[in-house]
Chain A
Amino acid sequence: MIPLSWYLILAAALFCLGLFGVLARKNAVAILMGIELMLNAVIINLIAFWRYLKPDQVNALVFALIVFAVSAAEVAVGLALVISIYRRRGTVAADEIDLMKW
C-alpha cells in the first residue's frame, strides 16, 4: 500500500520542476510546457486527495476536470499568443520580449 505522502511529494517535485521551467527557460513554448507540468502536479494532488481522503465524494474529481479544461484553454491561448508574437517580432525568447521595460 502506497502512503499518500509519496504522491504528494511526487506532485511537489513535479510542481517545482515546472516552476523551474517557467522561471528559467528561454523559449516561450517551453515556459508553457512548464506550466503544463505544474498543472499536472495539481491534478495529481487532487486525485490523490480524492483517493486517500474522500473516495466517496466527487468534488476533487470535478475540480480536476475543471483544471483540465482550464489548462486546455490556457495552452490554446498561450500558444496563439506565442505564435502572434513570433509573427510580429520573429522571436519566441522570453527575455527578448521586453517591450514593456523602461
Chain B
Amino acid sequence: MAIETLIWFVPAPPLLAFFLILLFTNRNKALSHTIAVGAALLSFTGSMIVFWQALCVEELGKYPFESSINWLPVAKGWLAVGVLIDPLSATTLFFVGWTVLMIFIYSVGYNNYGQPAGDHDKPGLQPHGATAADEYGHTHHVPSIEPMYSRFFAFIGLFAFGMYLLVVSNNLLTVFVGWEIMGLCSYLLIGFWYAKPSARAAAIKAFITTRVGDVFMLLGIVYLYSATGTLNFRTIFSEEILRRLVETPAGFLGLSTAGLISILLFIGTVGKSAQWPLHVWLPDAMEGPTPVSAMIHAAAMVSAGVYAALRMFPLLNAEWQGHGLTPAMTVIAFIGAFTALFAAVIAVAQNDIKRVLAYSTISQLGYMIAAVGIGAYVAAAFHLVMHAFFKALLFLGSGSVIHGVEHGVLHTGEHDVDPQNMFNMGGLKDKMPVTFWTFLIGGFALSGFPLITAGFWSKDEILADAFGHGHLAVFSTLALAALLTAFYTMRQITLTFLGKPRTESAKHAQETTWTMTLPLVVLAVFSVVAGWSGIPKHFPLLGMFSSNWFHEFVGGTLLERPETVEFSFIPLLTSLVVALGGLFLGWLVYRNVPAGAEDPLKRPLGMLYTWMHNKFYFDQLYDFLFVRPVIWFAEVFTFLWMDRGLIDGILHAIAHFTGVLGSFFRQGIDAPIINGFGDLVGDSTKKAGQSLRVIQTGQVQQYMIAALIFVFGTLIFFLYSLP
C-alpha cells in the first residue's frame, strides 16, 4: 500500500470503533474495549509505519508525503483536503500514537474492567464500589466497574480520531475539524459523570472557554482564506504568498495581514492550550476520569494547541529578521512566559494531586508557547514531545495513585476522605512501588533533573534559545518558572509517596492492575530515553556522542533550517541550579508533614498563599466580568426585554392583526361570496337532480322506450334531410 494511502487510513479506525461501539456493541463491555483498543492498535501500527517511512526519506521537509482530494466545490475550483506528513507531523504522530495506545490500555484497568457491577452505581456517577464475597464468605468492598464503560471507550475513540485527523491533515480546514471534534469530546468526557454538578459545570466551562479561542481561530482561518485563497499549509508557506501577506497591511493596529492572522490563530491556540487568560478551564477539567485528563493534557488537546502554533510557525515569524520580535511574536512570547510563571505559582499552592499536574501542564505549555514566540521552533517541538511523554506518565501515575487510595477508602470505609488530596496520602512508596518509581521518573523529567531525564534536555534547549537570542526577560521568567516547577514537583512526590501514611486509606492503598502499570512503565522508558535524541552537539562531554538528530530532523520542516544556538554555560548552569535547587527545597519543606497539618508555606506566605490557593481569583473575576453579565444579558435583556417584550409583542400584534384579517375574510368574503357561490352551485345541482331523477326509474324497458324515441327523432330528421 502506498504510504500516502496508509496515511489516509491512520485516523479511520478510532472513528469506526466509535460508531461500532455506540451503535452495536454498547451492551457488551468486553467487545467494546476490544474494538476500541484494537482500533487504537491499528492506528498505532499505521502511525509507526508512517513514522518509519518518514525516517527513511532524505530531506523529508522538502519532499513530504502529501496526497489530497477535491472535497468542496468553491467559487473557483475546488477546496482540496488531504494528508501531509512532514518531520513535525511525523514526530507528533509518533508520540500521539504511543500515548493514545497507552491511554487506551490504561483505561481498561482504570474503569475497573473485570470487577463486579456496583451495588448502587448509577450511570453518570463514579463507581462507588461493590461488595464481593470471597470463598470464606467474608464480604469485601471492591472497586466496581464503570456503568458507562462502553460509552467511555466510544468517546475516547472519537477523541483519538480527532487527534489523528488534526495531525495528519495538510490544511487548516481539516485541522479545525479535528480541533472541534476534540473540543466536543473534551466536553463529553469532562462531563462524563454528568450526574456530578461540578462535572457538568466543568464541562460547560471547558467548552465555552475553548469556544472563545476557536471563534478567533475560525476568524483567522477565514481571513487567511480570503487573503490567500487556499488553506493548504505548503501553499501558504510558499515564498510569494508569505511575502504578499507580509507586505499587505491589515489596517488594524498597524499590523500586517500575516501578523493579524497569526494573532487570531494564536488566540485559538491560547484557548486550546489553556494559556492565560483562557487557562481557567483546564484545572476544572480534572473532574473527568483520569485517562481523560491524560488524554486532554498530554496527548491531545493541549498538544494540539501547540502543534497548531508550530504548524503556523512560518506564518508567525514570516516578517522576522532574526532579532527584534514582530508584534505577533511579542504577544506570543509574553503570554507564554507569563503563563509559565503564573501557572507554576498557582501550582505550588494546590492540594489536589491532579490539579497540581494540571497547572504544571499549563506552565509547561507556557514554556512551549514562549519558545514559539521567541522563534525557537525546534526547542518548542522538542519540549512538546518530551512533555507529552512525561506528562502522560504523570497523569496516569496520579490516576494510579488515586485508584490505589480509592481502594483503601473502599477497604476502610472512611468515605469522607478525598482520595485526590495529597495531604491524605504519604508513604505510598512501599504500597505502590511501580507507580512510585515511574512517577518519580516522570516528576524528575518534569522538573528537568539533569542529564538523564528528557525534560532536562528540552527545557535546557528552550532556555538556551531564549538566552542565545537575547530575550533576557523571557529567559529569567522561564528560569523562575523552572525553579517553581521543580519545587512543586518535589512537593507532590514527597507528600504522596514519602514519609508516613497520614490516613488509614493511604495505609491500605495497594498497587493497581497490570493494564494500568504497563503504560506507566512504557511511558517512563520514553520519558528517559526520548530526550537523548535532542542533545545539542557541543554540549560538554555528551555532545560528541550526540548527533542532535531531533534538531536535524524536525528543523528540516522549515524552509530555511534554523541554526543551533552557540553553546554558553549560563543557561546550562541556570537550569541545573533551578532544577536541583527546586527539588531540594521541595523535599526540605515537605519531608515530614504530620497528619492533618496544613501546608507549611501557608504561614510564611500568608495573603499571597490564599491568593495562590484560590488561583488569584480568576474564576471569580471571570464570573463577575463575563458570566454574570452574560447571564443577565441572557435572562433579563434578551429573554425579558427583547424576546418577551419586543419580538413577542411584534409577533402578537401580527398575530392579532392576522386574526382580524382572517375573520374579516371569513365573514366578509369567504362565507357570503365564495361559499355562497359554491352552495348555490351545489343546491342548484341537487335541485336539478331531484327534478330530473324521476326519469331514472330503474326499469330497463322504459329506458329502451326513451332510447327508441330518440332514435326515431334522429331517423325522421335524417329522412327529411334526405334528398
Contacts and interface: CB of A to CB of B under 8 A. Distances in A.
The answer to whether A and B belong to the same complex is yes
B696 interface: yes
B697 to A, nearest CB: 6
Interface string A58-102: 000000000000000000000000000000000000110111111
Interface string A18-43: 01001110000001000000000000
B698 A94 contact: no
B167 to A, nearest CB: 84
Interface string B675-707: 000000000000000000100111111001100
Nearest to B694: A102
A23 B705 contact: yes
B701 A22 contact: yes
Contact of B701 (A95, A99, A101, A102): A95
Contacts of B699: 94-95, 98, 101
A101 B698 contact: yes
Contacts of A95: 699, 701
A97 B701 CA distance: 11
Contacts of A98: 697-699
B693 A102 contact: yes
Contacts of B693: 102
Interface residues of B, number: 10
Q: Which of B693, B696, B701, B705 has the most CB of A within 10 A?
A: B701
A97 B700 CA distance: 9
Contacts of B698: 97-102
A29 B705 CA distance: 19
A23 B704 contact: yes
Contacts of A22: 701, 704
A88 B458 CA distance: 107
A89 to B, nearest CB: 13
A87 B699 CA distance: 19
Q: Which of A94, A98, A101, A102 has the most CB of B within 10 A?
A: A102
Nearest to A98: B698
A31 B704 CA distance: 12
Contacts of B697: 98, 101
A81 to B, nearest CB: 12
B200 to A, nearest CB: 75
Contacts of B708: 19, 23
Interface residues of A, number: 13
Contacts, number: 29
A99 B697 CA distance: 9
A86 B313 CA distance: 103
A24 B693 CA distance: 22
B696 A94 contact: no
Nearest to B701: A23
Nearest to B690: A102
Contacts of B705: 23
Nearest to B704: A23
A97 B703 CA distance: 13
Contacts of A102: 693, 696, 698
A85 to B, nearest CB: 12
Nearest to B700: A94
Contacts of A97: 698, 700
A100 B700 CA distance: 10
A95 B696 CA distance: 12
Interface string B169-213: 000000000000000000000000000000000000000000000
A95 to B, nearest CB: 5
A86 B705 CA distance: 24
B701 A24 contact: yes
A94 B708 CA distance: 18
A100 B695 CA distance: 12
A102 B700 CA distance: 13
B700 to A, nearest CB: 7
B687 to A, nearest CB: 14
A99 B698 CA distance: 7
A101 B703 CA distance: 11
A23 B703 CA distance: 9
B562 to A, nearest CB: 103
A94 B701 CA distance: 8
A22 B708 CA distance: 12
Interface in A1-28: 19, 22-24
Q: Which of B696, B700, B705, B708 has the most CB of A within 10 A?
A: B700
A46 to B, nearest CB: 22
Contacts of A100: 696, 698
B165 to A, nearest CB: 76
A17 to B, nearest CB: 15
B688 to A, nearest CB: 13
Contacts of A19: 708
A97 B704 CA distance: 15
Contacts of B704: 22-23
B710 to A, nearest CB: 14
A22 B696 CA distance: 19
A94 to B, nearest CB: 6
A101 B705 CA distance: 16
A95 B697 CA distance: 9
Nearest to A19: B708
A22 B702 CA distance: 11
A31 B700 CA distance: 11
A94 B700 CA distance: 8
B709 to A, nearest CB: 11
Nearest to A102: B693
Interface in B328-364: none
A23 B705 CA distance: 7
Contacts of B701: 22-24, 31, 94-95
Contacts of A101: 696-699
A14 B169 CA distance: 102
Interface string B253-277: 0000000000000000000000000
A35 B708 CA distance: 15
Nearest to B689: A102
B708 to A, nearest CB: 8
A100 B696 CA distance: 8
Interface in B78-115: none
Contacts of B700: 94, 97
8 contacts: A22-B704, A23-B701, A23-B704, A24-B701, A94-B701, A99-B698, A101-B698, A102-B693
Interface of A: 19, 22-24, 31, 94-95, 97-102
The 8 closest A-B pairs by CB, nearest first: A101-B698, A98-B698, A102-B693, A100-B698, A95-B699, A102-B696, A23-B701, A98-B699
Given A19-B708, A102-B693, A102-B696, 15 more contacts: A22-B704, A23-B704, A23-B705, A23-B708, A24-B701, A31-B701, A94-B699, A94-B700, A95-B701, A97-B698, A97-B700, A98-B699, A100-B696, A100-B698, A101-B699
